[in-house]
Structure 1
Amino acid sequence: SLAIRVRDELGVLFADEQFVGLFPVRGKPAWSPGRLAMVLVLQFVEGLTDRQAAEAVRARIDWKFALGLELTDPGFGFSVLTEFRDRLVGGDAGRAVLDAILVAAKDRELLTSGGKARTDSTHVLSSARELNWLELVGETLRAALNAVAYAEPDWLSARALPDWFKHYATRIEDSRFPKAHAKRVEVGRWIGADGMRLLRLVWADDAPPALRELPEVGILRQVWVQHFHLVEGEVERRDPKDRPPGAKRLVTPYDIEARGSVKRGTMWDGYKVHLTETCEPDAVHLVTDVTTTVATVPDDRMAAVVHAGLARRGMLPDEHWVDAGYANSSALAAARIDHGVDLHGPLPPVAVAQARGEGAYAQDAFTIDWDNQHVTCPNGITSTQWHHRRSEEQLPVIRVRFSPADCRTCPSLRDCVSSPKAQRREITLRPRHEYEALHQARQLQATDEWKRRYKIRAGVEGTISQGAQACGLRRSRYRGLGKTSLQHQLTGAAINLIRINAWLTDQPRARTRTSPLAALRPAA
């Protein structure tokens, strides 16, 4: 079996010393943390629950062999896995589990530095159920009332409105909200008023101070600030433009780090995971980096994060293939300058005609003198202004302007500028290292050779599919970014063991499935 083969070929993957910082010095000895780490990885390999994994440790010979246990070893209670995961999250030790497998693969010469790698991301649904707006505010208020009732039952009993027991004693999803829009607005208004009343009671002078420290009350306050405000003394819902951006807006009171996002038509509440794997044709493809973020973090910020993580572990590739979401001028330049990595990905098209390279007065037709900080147009006129500024996205840019006195008299002015009222040409440049990297990349991507080589990136879609189908990659098992990140680290470790086992047993990689109709598609 996989467990036996991994032990035979790779040896002991996890030592107790790797996790010594997660446990106190004094107290009763814990079950071997190295073995617990192995149990967690095998659990994800086979898609088991905690109870099933603990039973496998007690009853299965192949697991006992992989863990180095006697056949008579009784194992442990399944709750030990929950406690160990909490320790891994608290000590940010999830990466150590994945790294240990990569180190063993290196020792077995299954993994080498350099070469090619590819990265892609996918959505991850929160473990908490997706809520509509009425369910969000109603459930948030219900959670706060339950927390206050548990902490100070007598205090709340003396102040609670009779309707609160009717509306918030059971789960909000069991309520039948009206279908008419006007009536739903009215329901949201009185939920907002009830929540505002509770907040006023909690922050009153005679309220127990401990109530203000309850996490549920803090979440209630945050959600109410985001969704309600007072209009002439009445609680009203905020207009869409008056609400905070998605990166700050809570989507459920039960997973406060989850965020709502959309990518290519897919809308979800939760997180996003980025998988990086090796992709040499004559070697096993191993996951070398797993990075989990909130759902609203764009892909174009992640290339530097992935490279920094790979650099710390000495696993930087020579070529890194990504999709259009990761590729931009700053990412290309930073990858080359900071890490010596050639980042390859389709660059976004240029929207401005003057910058696209069309016509005699396209931006490429202008001569840039970076040392003397001026630009010369095709007619020999030199720019008069060169300023370092920030773009709308707060990225560094260079604003170059020509003199109106020179441009107004030029017979080619209308061909040179895009606006019919413009009196001079203006050019926006990236910093020199980004500009040159972008220019070289666009020239390279126009070749048939680059387009042929870029096909290698598509293979990472299969890795995401394997993670989703075999290990539940797209659904968080736990609440919170820390535990979700640990889940993905264990998923990456499990995928690596599955692939190492397939490589050692000479199992061929699955071919990309093509439907009969797709096979008849004419060549482009």
Structure 2
Amino acid sequence: MSMQPSGPNEVPGQTARVARAAFPNGSLAIRVRDGLGPLFGDEGFVDLFPARGKPAWSPGRLALVLVLQFVEGLTDRQAAEAVRARIDWKYALGLELGDPGFDFSVLSEFRDRLTGADGGRRVLDGILAAAGERGLLTTAGRARTDSTHVLSAARELSWLEMVAESLRAALNALAQEAPQWLVQAAEPDWFRNYATRAEDSRFPKSRTKRDEVGARIGRDGMRLLEAVFSPGTYEGLRTLEQVEYLRQVWVQSFHLVEGEVRRRDPKDRPPGAMRLVTPYDSEARGSVKRDTVWDGYKVHLTETCEPDALNLITNVATTVATVPDISMTDAVHAQLAQVDRLPGEHLVDAGYVDAHLLVSTRREYGITLTGPVAGVISHQAAANNGFTADDFSVDWEGEQVTCPGGKTARCWNPDRSPEGTPVIRVRFSGGQCRPCPVREQCTTSSRGRRLTLRPREEHEALRQARAEQDTETWKDHYKTRAGVEGTISQAVGRCGLRRSRYRGLAKTSLQHQLTGAAINLARIDAYLTGTPRARTRTSRFAALGPAEPKLSGAE
């Protein structure tokens, strides 16, 4: 399909008259059109379409349809029907009353185009740009970020189901690509064991018999892979997605021991970042966060949080489930910098903060990173009766450290931590520590106390952050971060944030960008109508108890 961009679409006169009569108090779609104007132009999506072919439905209008679809939680069929039948949607889209709309499959095809070009970010940025032009977006102040888990669209599988389904998926792909070859290569019992989904059969309850089933699946999969990769077999079969997935699953799950296929020991399997969990979503990964265990992804939401101002989501980042929050702090800042939406202060939880980021965030982006930093990790700190590293005086110019007992260590060695970050190793000799009168409060080692310091700027930033976060002023200021929990709750309740609608990281990321755009549209509508923010719900029993201090910004 081709696309010839058109200019900004005006609302037809008849559509406007009928919409005003049918909705005297307006609706979200009408108010957003009146307040923000046409949100998306066709020219913003020109690169998604070829120059020749059948003319496509307006991509600018389709982008708005996708956002309205997420605002109201509609399916593709329902969204297409709303374009055909609802007057307020025709008003928002600038359509004639008699416009027949489009087939619902157009939405799926348009999402595929957006997925291939990171188009979800264009949609979110389009709404933010319109809000900024009308003075509804303030980004120079404070922002807050948090993450939550996202379940894969494919259901969670047990190990037996996963290997059985991986083999079955490969067999189906080969049956479609090379049916005659597969008839010759398949074992007779494969048609009985893998003709239906694993969930439709019952695996034995006995552990011994289940192990036998797993071993049988392992042997069958190994035979199939040997046949596919044997000389003379058509090489195109090896590049099939399901066959490559089967190969990876078998490498991770089985190995040959004296010529027999056996299941790998748990300690011999790959780490979670590499471990495959389902053949129906090859990018999903399994992860654990406290009591939550899931297969899928993780999403990070960043929003403005200035007092008495409209809070809008300014960035959405989706990763596989195993990516830690700490690795996303700089990534979020880089994404915000690209669109000139960096905040002056960024409120985050402990997962996004370390000494290096406290320094680099201010140096590279001019942002004050505010969040709880980890305390001193040592047996002295755990016992709460000894000298921690913060009790030692550091002479950075002289490259020496003085302990609370008055001894000075001059053994100063720049080094690297196991994670590759620069550190400084400081060592007191055993002769200095053994006769020290406060040795019991410092070290039990006969070789003397050892310290690991960060570079000066990071060391001082960490000490300052630890001192500040113990004050009531800091704690009261930090309460504003709690409001992002309400944003996640809103996105979960309204748009199903924690369950991916699609398979794969790219499509899941598009879903989250559209979710962010939908939440922004709903918040802009609430702002235009003067709807106050909902307060935190309190149960009747809790209301009988003593009043607690209100969490600023947590509404």
Q: TM-score range by the shorter chain?
A: over 0.9
Offset at residue 30 of structure 1 (A) = 1.6
- What residue identity is the alignment partner of 1:114? A
The code of the aligned residue for 1:50 comes to D
Aligned length: 522
Contact 2:415 2:423 survives alignment (8 Å) = yes
For 2:352 and 2:267, locate their aligned partners in 1 and report how far apart those are by CA, in whole Å: 29
Name the structure 2 match of 1:457.
481
2:106 alignment counterpart: 80
- Correspondence for 1:268: 294
User: What is the CA–CA distance in structure 1 between the aligned matches of 2:379 and 2:240, rounded to whole Å?
Assistant: 57
Query: How many Å apart are 1:194 and its aligned residue?
Result: 0.3
User: Which runs of structure 2 are paired with 1:39-438 in the superposition (5 Å)?
Assistant: 39-354=65-380, 361-417=387-443, 420-438=444-462
Moved more, 125-134 or 65-74: 65-74
Identity, in percent, stands at 67
What is the Cα deviation at residue 358 of structure 1?
Answer: 5.5
Change (3 A) 1:360 1:460: closer
Letter in 2 for 1:102: L
Structure 1 residue 311, shift from structure 2 partner: 1.6
- Aligned partner of 1:4 in structure 2 is 30
Q: Does 488-497 or 337-346 show the bigger shift?
A: 337-346
Report what 1:501 is aligned to.
525
- C-alpha distance in 1 between matches for 2:187 and 2:326: 50
Cα distance in 2 for partners of 1:237, 1:387 equals: 46
Cα deviation, residue 401, structure 1 = 1.2
Contact kept? 1:13, 1:101, Cα under 8 Å: yes
**Greater displacement, 510-519 / 217-226:** 510-519
Instruction: State the Cα deviation string for residues 291-315 of structure 1 (Å, max 9, x = none).
Output: 0000001112221111111121111
> Matched residues in 1 for 2:47 and 2:41: separation?
13
Output one character per residue of 1:394-451: Cα deviation in whole Å (capped at 9) or x when no partner.
332211112334334434333321xx34321111112222211111111111111111
| RMSD of Structure 2 on Structure 1 (CA) | 1.7
Structure 1 window deviating more from structure 2 (369-378 vs 514-523): it is 514-523
Quickly say closer, same or farther: Cα 1:438–1:523, change in 2 above 3 A.
Answer: farther
* Conserved 8 A contact 1:356-1:363: no
Letter in structure 2 aligned against 1:304: D
Q: Distance in 2 between matches of 1:245 and 1:198?
A: 26
Kindly provide the CA deviation profile for residues 55-92 of structure 1, in whole angstroms up to 9, marking residues without a partner as x: 11111111111111111111111111111111111111
The code of the aligned residue for 2:71 comes to V
The alpha carbon displacement at 1:318 in A equals: 1.7
- Indicate the SS of the match to 2:464: helix
| Inter-partner Cα distance in structure 2 for 1:319 and 1:253 | 42
Q: Equivalents in 2 of 1:81, 1:473: separation in Å?
A: 19
Contact kept in structure 2, 1:356 and 1:362, CA below 8 Å:
no
Over 3 Å counting, the alpha-carbon distance change for 1:413 and 1:171 in structure 2 is same
CA–CA distance in 1 between the matches of 2:320 and 2:112? 20
Greater displacement, 440-449 / 191-200: 440-449
Equivalent in 534, 538, 541 of residue 510 of structure 1: 534
Letter in 2 for 1:399: R
Which residue identity lines up with residue 398 of structure 1 in the other structure? I
Q: Which residue of 2 aligns with 1:24?
A: 50
Alpha-carbon separation, structure 2, partners of 1:496 and 1:388: 48
TM-score by length of 1: 0.96
Aligned to 2:508: 484
Residue 523 of structure 2 aligns with an amino acid whose one-letter code is R
Letter paired with 2:506: G
Cα offsets for 1:272-293 (capped at 9, x unmatched): 0011111122111111110000
Q: Scaled by the length of structure 2, what TM-score is found?
A: 0.91
The Cα offsets for residues 337-369 of structure 1, whole Å up to 9 and x where unpaired, read as 221212222222333144689557432232112
Distance 1:166 1:422 in 2: 69
Post-superposition CA distance 1:15-58 (Å, at most 9, x none): 11111111122323221111111111011011111111111111
1:115 deviates by 1.4
Output the CA distance in 2 between the equivalents of 1:457 and 1:521: 25
Cα deviation for residue 113 of structure 1 reads: 2.4
The one-letter code sitting in structure 2 at the alignment partner of 1:260 is G
2:271 is matched by which residue type in structure 1?
P
Provide the C-alpha distance between the structure 2 equivalents of 1:38 and 1:424, rounded to a whole number of angstroms: 67
Question: Residue 357 of structure 1 contacts residue 364 of structure 1 at CA under 8 Å; is this kept in 2?
Answer: no
Looking at structure 2, the residues matched to 235 and 522 of structure 1 have their Cα atoms a distance apart, in angstroms, of 65
- Secondary structure of the 1:513 match is coil
**Aligned-partner Cα distance in 1 for 2:357–2:381:** 20
Q: Is the 8 A contact 1:357 1:363 kept in 2?
A: no
Partner SS, residue 158 of structure 1: helix
1:120/1:274 contact within 8 Å kept: yes
Residue in 1 aligned with 2:9? none
Letter aligned with residue 133 of structure 1: W
C-alpha contact 2:390 2:463 (8 A) present in aligned 1: no
CA distance in 2, matches of 1:322, 1:212: 46
CA gap of 1:266–1:521, structure 2 versus 1, over 3 A, is farther
2:490 to 466, 471, 481: 466
State the distance in 2 between where 1:236 and 1:448 align.
59
Structure 2 residue runs without a partner (length 5+):
1-26, 549-555
Q: Quick one: distance in 2 between partners of 1:113 and 1:412?
A: 52
AA aligned to 1:450 is W
